[in-house]
Amino acid sequence: MMQIIFFGTPQFAVPTLEALIKHPDLKVIAVVTQPDKRRGRGNKTIPSAVKKVAVEHNIEVWQPKSVKKNRETLDKLQQVQADAFVVVAYGQILSQEILDLPKFGCINVHGSLLPQYRGAAPIQWSLYHGDAETGITTMLMDEGLDTGDMLLKAQIPINLLDNAVDVAIKLANQGADLLIETLQKLKANTITPTPQDDALSTYARLIEKSDYKIDWQQEALTIHNQVRAFYPSCVTTFREQQLKVKATVPLIESKLDLLPSECQVIKQKWQDLVNLSGSNGEVVAILKNLGAVVQTKAGLLLLKEVQLAGKKAQSGWDFVNGMRVTEGERMNEEE
């Protein structure tokens, strides 16, 4: 039975941990996760999603502030003599001392098709760039940033209206399956690590507050990709109030066949819509049961779901009715 130590923190890592726990030939002997954080109105101490699962299954949990510098944790990692360390969105860099400990190495489950999107936010930047597919790569970790030799890959398509949460859920489940296959093949010595081609690499940097600001001088598809990549945080202003734009539909002829059934009315009204024009950020149409249609530099954008500051999220249609939005009104960049 393979002895595993699991490193992970957010919900994205949970399906992989659960798959390891359930597998009859694998044993999770400890979980390493980030320290509990204080959150919410009551400033309560909240454990990570991974810690909650570990506690439910009576698995020992270690939470060093810095895993590289915490001598107690380092000693424990040495003493357990695990076969493999599995790392999924842990949130800390592992030292070479740690990477060298397990028999089969440290295996990372990364949310992109490496060497594309090395770094902290691969799902978000894949969506931002309008990629048609993404996937999971398992790799042997080294001291670089997602630069280790690749083990296995699996791909998924990205649908036109998928946002970062949708894609993360799909990849988290896919990653769990791929990790189990990776461990089995490592143990059987039927897998050949493949070096990454650094010339093909791209970097998925951390998301900054400025990335959330919608610029209506951009094209409809560009804004749509921004909104779904940085869900649920993109903002504009409307009537001098901050308005979060949580979901959009790009009204572009080449994308009509990709729209879901609830948006089929757009196809029926396409000849009317295609003749509309206005200034960037202007509401040029109201589609019944759907919401406001906004002009961009190129193409129109339907506001499918929004949230006014201090209010609950609502559909584009409820927003139009509640605010009595009219054609000719304008969205503006968040100041």
**Binding site members for (6S)-5,6,7,8-tetrahydrofolate:** 112-115
Identify whether 250 is preceded by a cis peptide bond (ω within 30 of 0). Answer: no
| Sheet arrangement for strand 26-32 | 61-62, 26-32, 2-8, 84-88, 106-110, 133-140, 150-157
Spatial CA neighbour of 249 closest among 163, 191, 173, 183 = 163
Any residues with CB less than 8 A from the CB of 91 and at least 6 apart, and which?
9, 10, 34
Identify whether 157 is preceded by a cis peptide bond (ω within 30 of 0). Answer: no
Is 50 within 8 Å of 9 (Cβ atoms)? yes
Query: How many helices and strands in the chain, by DSSP H and E?
Result: 10, 18
The tokens describing 225, both together, are 């990709």
Is 107 within 8 Å of 183 (Cβ atoms)? yes
Is 153 within 8 Å of 120 (Cβ atoms)? no
**Binding site members:** 112-115
